[in-house]
Structures are given as structure tokens and as C-alpha cells.
Amino acid sequence: MDLFKKCNDYEIVDKYKGLGVYPYFHALETKQDTEVMMEGKRRIMIGSNNYLGLTGDERIIESGVETFKEFGSGVSGSRFLNGTLKLHIELEDRLAEFLHKDACLTFSTGFQTNLGIISALAGRNDLVFIDRENHASIYDGVRLSFGKMVRYRHDDMDHLEKKLKETDDKYGKLIITDGVFSMSGDIANLPEIVRLAKKYNARVMVDDAHGFGVLGKHGRGTAEYFDLEDDVDIIMGTFSKSLASLGGYMAADQKIVDYVKHNSRPFIFSAAITPANAATALKALNILKEEPQRPKQLLDIAAYMRKRLIEKGLEVADHSVAPIIPIYTYGMLRTLVACKKLYDKGVYVNPVLPPAAPEGECMIRTSYMATHSEALMDEASDIIAEVLLNLPDSEDVLLKEISEHGV
């Protein structure tokens, strides 16, 4: 069989491009902000993970430009060889201090961070318990390791306990959960996870990519939100969201960090994050510390938008305080048509389709920034309601409308 047969038979992209509802790879023409220019038109941006609104902050930009001039464009190697800068060490020290952990280690991307941590720690005699809705990088991290994956139903603590109870104590056990789940905005039941970990002699790792800068009085994330910072063994996070840069990190006890540092192939054999990435992440961290009101502003604007959407009769998830608000659209074509109409009317959102959502349970993911205004949320919610409340439920009706009138 020809290796490329699968590629030639892959027709779904052409299908949705032909219908005019393909939703991906729209090109930004301005920096990330609450309003952007995208393909020649103003769009309200509620599909970004720029939670603290710092990606376009002039202080961040100036920090990156000055660092670029001082250190150049890259490091030309791994941290083991020539790639360690004083900026990396300073960033790791400041992050460890902020997160109340002994030590910190940075990686080139958030995805690589999970690959690097899990593949180093999970050995042949270890079990890794993961929530079914964890990020794909956690799944791939377990697959890259020699450990065995044990999945439990999303946020189902009884099911997690059942799985833990079935294991022999001779195995090492690591429970990994997203702090804030990226699609649903659900917040992990960390108190119960910690309780079960102590009961069954397991360790706890939290992927706080969407919790850092968002939850907790100081923005330290899910563990601070639940006052469990001393009970979480490993905190993982990214720089590409609240910290307005690119890269990732793990924070843990010094011995754990040292072990990963010397045994993680994704860390050892990758170039370090660029000088500008390190400097801008550090600057964003300093701004978060100097302006601790930003996480509250973020949750306040998310609460405002959630209330507006519910008042307009839209079906949204209302059980979380996180700045991720999914709007349920169910059918795949209905979701794609809704996103296309919203985009054309000037609102940028993200479709959540299989495999990120079960078949028939598609949604539109909206996410918010501390710098969004209520006036902008009023405008966006009016457009969302206008589009979704006038959208047919039937895929046949949608296909007929598209064939007759276009999207």
C-alpha cells in the first residue's frame, strides 16, 4: 500500500473549504489584542489565550526588543551545551519563588514541557492516572514514557478512586490533571485529587497552562485557588498564555527538577527558548506581581460576559469562574457555519469539533482577557446572539441554505 494513500483519501478539509466554512489559519495582521485586524477587517478577539492582555503590552515589547539587541536572536543549542543564558536561570529562579517551589525548569514549548516531564518520570513500573479530558500533550507524554496510562472519567473522583484502589502498592503512581480544562473551562477538583493521592500513596501533577495568571489571589493558579500549593508535587505551565511569550516550565522540589533536567530527552536534545522569549516571560511575570489586580479583572469580565450570554438565551457552561466560556452548538456543520457567520460579522471565536469534543457535542469556545471592556463584551454578545438564535438546528436545512445562498 502507498504510504500517502491516507493523505490522498483525506477529503474533509476540501469538503468544508468547498462549503465555505473552513475555520482555521485565519491570518492576523496586527498584534494580539482585544480587537485585531484579521484578513482586512476588524474582529473582536474572544478566541485567544492572552488572558492578562499582556501580549501587546508596550513594556513587554520593549523588553523583547532590548533583549534581542543584547543577546541576539537565538541560543544555537541546548541548555546542556551552549544554550543556557543568565536570563534562563533568572526566569527559573523567579518562577520558583513566585510559585512557592524549590526549583523550576524551562522548556521550549508548553507541549514539550509535558512530554519532557512525564517521559522522564514515568518508568516501566509506574502508573499515570489521567483525566480523560486532559490536554493532548499529557497523553503523548505518557505514550512517550515507559509508564502505563490509566484514564478516569472527566472529573469523576469515584472513578479515580476505583482505579487507584485496583493498583498494587508496588507501582509508582502519578495523578495528572489539567488545572483549568482548556475546552470546557472546568476547574479540576484538586482537593479531592490531593486527598486520594495521600490515601493511595500517589503523587500529583497539575497542568496549569490555563490556570496560571487566572486563578488564585495572586494569580499563582489552581493550587493557590484551593490553598493546596504544598500538596501539589509538580506544577506545569506555559509562557504562551498569561506570560505573553513562548515556552513552558515545571516547578517542583529541587531533586525532582534535577532528575528531569538530566533524564528528559525532550529537554536535553532541544534548543533552549530564545533570549527574547525568556525576557518577555520574565517581564510579564514581574507585571503580574506588580499588578495583582489583573486576575480579578479577568474573572470579572468573564463573569460579565457569561451573564450577558445567559440573559440572551444562549446555552453556555455556567458552572465555572474560568475565563473560558463554551457555547453549545452540538452539530459539526452548525458549529462551522456559526463560526463563519461570527467571523464575517467581526467576532473571532474557536470551534471545538471531534476529537476535541464528542460527536454531536460540538461547541464554540470563547475566552477572555483582563483588558476586555464591558462595552466590547456587549457588542460581541449581541452579535453572537443574533447569529446563534437564528441558526437552524438541522444539518439538511443548513446544507440547503448554503447551496442556495452561500454561508
pLDDT digits (tens, 9 = 90+) for 265-277: 999 999 999 999 9
Q: Distance between CA 393 and CA 376 in Å, rounded?
A: 28
Question: What is the tally of structural domains in the chain?
Answer: 2
Average pLDDT, the chain: 96
Task: Name the catalytic one among 48, 137, 182, 367.
Answer: 182
What b/e readout covers 312-338, taking b as 16+ CB neighbours within 10 angstroms?
Answer: eebebbeebbbbbbbbbbebbbbbbbb
Do residues 283 and 356 share a domain?
Answer: no
pLDDT of residue 318: 84
Say which amino acid occupies 199: K
Do residues 73 and 41 share a domain?
Answer: no
Task: Name the catalytic one among 101, 135, 210, 341.
Answer: 210
Closest to 235 measured CA to CA, from 216, 222, 217: 222
Tell whether omega for the bond before 355 is within 30 degrees of 0, i.e. cis. yes
Domain boundary residue among 290, 315, 345?
290
pLDDT digits (tens, 9 = 90+) for 87-102: 999 999 999 999 999 9
Do residues 84 and 155 share a domain?
Answer: yes
Active site residue 154: no
Say which amino acid occupies 54: L
pLDDT of residue 310: 97
Do residues 285 and 366 share a domain?
Answer: no
Closest to 207 measured CA to CA, from 228, 173, 177: 177
Task: Name the catalytic one among 163, 241, 283, 341.
Answer: 241
Q: Distance between CA 92 and CA 101 in Å, rounded?
A: 11
Grid look-up 494513500 returns: 5
CATH number at residue 136: 3.40.640.10
Do residues 135 and 216 share a domain?
Answer: yes
Closest to 196 measured CA to CA, from 152, 160, 234, 149: 160
pLDDT of residue 306: 98
pLDDT of residue 242: 98
Active site residue 210: yes
Active site residue 242: no
Q: What percent of the chain has pLDDT over 70?
A: 100
Structural domain that includes position 177: 58-290
Report the range of poorest mean pLDDT among 73-87, 313-327, 336-350, 387-401: 387-401
